[in-house]
């Protein structure tokens, strides 16, 4: 088996990167007026302009060669065919089966998945309509007005990001709230204004073992029972989404109130399943199907478009180019549409939990830079916070700029200002401004030579900072579904190119195990000596100080 670094295309890219590092993007734009046309992809819900990357025709062709040498298309087909490409957990990776809006059949071990998926969708439809129409009653006969989703990570971020993004599409018949943190402050704040008679809890946990979720669910149950004085109220106020029916029923949730999840759906790719129940409750079932349709549109594109025109593939190749070959270590996600304010948090889990790893498929240490850390914030807020770093620090941070042609909430005089900033920032990051321009400008403003000498170096922007621009038509359930699927397939492609097992998450286990042991010690008020001196010292200090604070 050839390692990635010994592939011919990989080595060509290493040499090519040295050449490209000597170039400046603004020269590439001057030399080639067709750059925008050449390096952009127009799809129905969005267009992707990737011309503001340090690339040329040769770069893209080398990257496509790499994708071919890595047999990307064959791997993609294996995923869609239900092969167990999640090799360390020996599971298929079939979140795409959840949004199959065509007639493709998805099978696993001879079982027709379409049927199972449809059954769950129908259960979601019936349930969400019953709740939204007021036919699902609480213990005192009142209709449900508030839904509290209790879940964390993939059982929280996807639905919350989507319901936040699609707020304008909600008829507000149901208020949806989220509890993910085991810090009691969050659940206390969420529950305080709510009337237990009218609240429905969704306990969302694929494994039904996650401590944070179980702790919050127990608190919610106590809250309900202490108000209803009736244990049987749980049946009217608690549903679960889980692949672990046994634990969910043992927890006290009625079997008919459990929505299925499957081991072939990774938590961070699960919003298309019943984990998306809060979306259907908030917006209605039809918009939920539109969301699936949008994702399906991109599934089709990913399967059918040639690699050169394949948006998720291009995004993955560029990430690889910028990070592995040009040395960038982080990537910013910068939405300019307020509705996408949770997108970077969502993509942090999607990309970093998937590809933040350091051994390859064969368990060997990877000796090349892999994926960046993902961070970001609404771009316009970032401009007045961390963009200074993007423009002038020594670290180059490739960034995805995501904006919409039309706002879902048009307010006169706002959108154009927003979009002017959107376009200006990628231009500034690409072009920069050199010392001569700075000096000429200061001179033209009548500044003294002393002042110019002092200030000029501080005003230089090197530019040459790569960005992708994703310009959506407008945020809608369908276009949002497409946007999310675009990133999902980008992440899959990165995993293939880098030989990373994208669908496990062993790195989250170590801390979980230690936390369980430490919690037992804290509960016993004693610190075991086997900890390192820092952990031991901190725990002892915490227990001592807690005692003092309680005595005060
Ligand atoms: O700890 C990480 C993780 O396992 C994520 O992968 C997952 O999305 C999240 O926890 C929640 O897990 P569960 O849905 O099983 O509660």
Residue 516 inside a domain? The answer is yes
Q: Which residues are tagged catalytic?
A: 353, 384, 512
Residue 438 inside a domain? The answer is no
Whether 515 lines ligand 1, by a CB cut-off of 6 Å, is no
**Domain limits at 494?**
4-69+305-431+465-498
Phi/psi at 35 (5° precision): -55, -45
Kindly give the distance from the C-alpha atom of residue 315 to the centroid of ligand 1, in angstroms, as a whole number: 26
Q: How far is CA 533 from CA 299, 360, 541, in A?
A: 51, 34, 12
Kindly give the distance from the C-alpha atom of residue 407 to the centroid of ligand 1, in angstroms, as a whole number: 33
Q: Which pLDDT value is given to residue 141?
A: 97
Whether 154 lines ligand 1, by a CB cut-off of 6 Å, is yes
Question: What is the DSSP track for 11-39?
Answer: HHHHHHHHHHTT--HHHHHHH-TTHHHHT
Strand order in the sheet with 199-204: 175-179, 146-150, 199-204, 238-242, 258-260
- Let me know whether 364 and 512 are in one domain: no
Q: Which pLDDT value is given to residue 297?
A: 98
How many C-alpha atoms does 25 have within 13 Å on its Cβ side?
23
Q: Whose CA is nearest to atom 10 of ligand 1?
A: 153
- Let me know whether 27 and 167 are in one domain: no
Q: Whose CA is nearest to atom 6 of ligand 1?
A: 267
pTM of the model: 0.97
Q: Which pLDDT value is given to residue 1?
A: 66
Whether 159 lines ligand 1, by a CB cut-off of 6 Å, is no
- Let me know whether 253 and 321 are in one domain: no
3-class DSSP state of 42? strand
Give the pLDDT confidence of 232-251 residue by residue, as tens digits: 999 999 999 999 999 999 99
432 pLDDT more than 90: yes
Eight-class DSSP state of 324: I
Whether 482 lines ligand 1, by a CB cut-off of 6 Å, is no
How many C-alpha atoms does 454 have within 13 Å on its Cβ side?
5
Give the pLDDT confidence of 24-68 residue by residue, as tens digits: 999 999 999 999 999 999 999 999 999 999 999 999 999 999 999
Atom of ligand 1 nearest to the CA of 353: 6
Q: Whose CA is nearest to atom 8 of ligand 1?
A: 154
Domain count, the chain: 3
Distant-in-sequence, close-in-space partners of 461: CB < 8 Å, separation ≥ 6 = 391, 392, 428, 432, 433
First to last CA, the chain: 66
187: domain CATH number is 3.40.50.10490
Q: How far is CA 234 from CA 141, 184, 287, 509, in A?
A: 14, 21, 29, 31
- Let me know whether 389 and 482 are in one domain: yes
Atom of ligand 1 nearest to the CA of 213: 16
């Amino acid at each position: 088996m050839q390692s990635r670094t010994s592939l011919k295309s990989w080595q060509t890219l290493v040499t090519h990167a040295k050449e490209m590092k000597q170039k400046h993007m603004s020269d590439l734009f001057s030399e080639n007026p067709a750059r925008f046309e050449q390096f952009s992809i127009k799809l129905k819900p969005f267009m992707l302009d990737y011309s503001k990357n340090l690339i040329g025709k040769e770069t893209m062709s080398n990257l496509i060669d790499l994708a071919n040498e890595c047999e990307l298309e064959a791997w993609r087909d294996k995923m869609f065919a239900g092969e167990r490409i999640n090799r360390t957990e020996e599971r298929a990776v079939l979140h795409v089966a959840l949004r199959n809006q065509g007639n493709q059949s998805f099978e696993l071990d001879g079982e027709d998945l379409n049927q199972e998926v449809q059954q769950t969708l129908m259960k979601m439809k019936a349930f969400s309509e019953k709740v939204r129409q007021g036919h699902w009653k609480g213990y005192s006969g009142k209709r449900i007005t508030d839904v509290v989703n209790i879940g964390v990570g993939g059982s929280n971020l996807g639905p919350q990001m989507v319901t936040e993004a699609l707020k304008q599409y909600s008829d507000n018949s149901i208020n949806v709230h989220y509890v993910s943190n085991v810090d009691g402050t969050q659940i206390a704040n969420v529950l305080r204004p709510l009337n237990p008679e009218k609240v429905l809890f969704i306990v969302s946990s694929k494994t039904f073992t996650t401590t944070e979720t179980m702790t919050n669910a127990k608190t919610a149950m106590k809250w309900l029972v202490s108000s209803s004085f009736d244990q049987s109220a749980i049946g009217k106020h608690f549903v679960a989404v889980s692949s672990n029916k046994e634990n969910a029923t043992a927890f006290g949730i009625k079997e008919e109130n459990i929505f299925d999840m499957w081991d072939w759906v990774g938590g961070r790719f699960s919003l298309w399943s019943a984990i998306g129940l809060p979306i259907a409750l908030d917006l209605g079932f039809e918009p939920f199907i539109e969301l699936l349709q949008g994702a399906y549109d991109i599934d089709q594109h990913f399967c059918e478009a040639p690699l050169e025109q394949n948006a998720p593939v291009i995004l993955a190749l560029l990430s690889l180019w910028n990070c592995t070959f040009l040395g960038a270590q982080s990537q910013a996600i910068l939405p300019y549409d307020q509705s996408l304010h949770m997108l970077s948090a969502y993509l942090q889990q999607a990309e970093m939990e998937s590809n933040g790893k350091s051994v390859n498929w064969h368990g060997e240490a990877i000796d090349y830079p892999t994926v960046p850390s993902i961070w970001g914030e609404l771009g316009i807020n970032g401009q007045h916070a961390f963009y200074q770093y993007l423009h002038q620090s020594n670290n180059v941070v490739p960034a995805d700029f995501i904006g919409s042609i039309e706002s879902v909430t048009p307010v006169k005089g706002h959108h154009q200002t927003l979009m002017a900033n959107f376009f200006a920032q990628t231009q500034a990051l690409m072009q920069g401004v050199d010392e001569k321009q700075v000096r000429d400008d200061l001179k033209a403003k009548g500044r003294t030579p002393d002042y110019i000498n002092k200030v000029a170096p501080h005003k230089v922007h090197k530019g040459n900072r790569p960005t992708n621009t994703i310009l959506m038509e407008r945020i809608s359930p369908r276009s949002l579904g497409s946007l999310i699927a675009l990133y999902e397939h980008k992440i899959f492609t990165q995993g293939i190119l880098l030989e990373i097992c994208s669908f496990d998450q062993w790195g989250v286990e170590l801390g979980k195990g230690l936390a369980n042991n430490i919690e037992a010690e804290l509960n016993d008020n004693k610190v075991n000596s086997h900890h390192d001196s820092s952990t031991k010292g901190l725990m002892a200090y915490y227990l001592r100080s807690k005692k003092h604070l309680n005595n005060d």
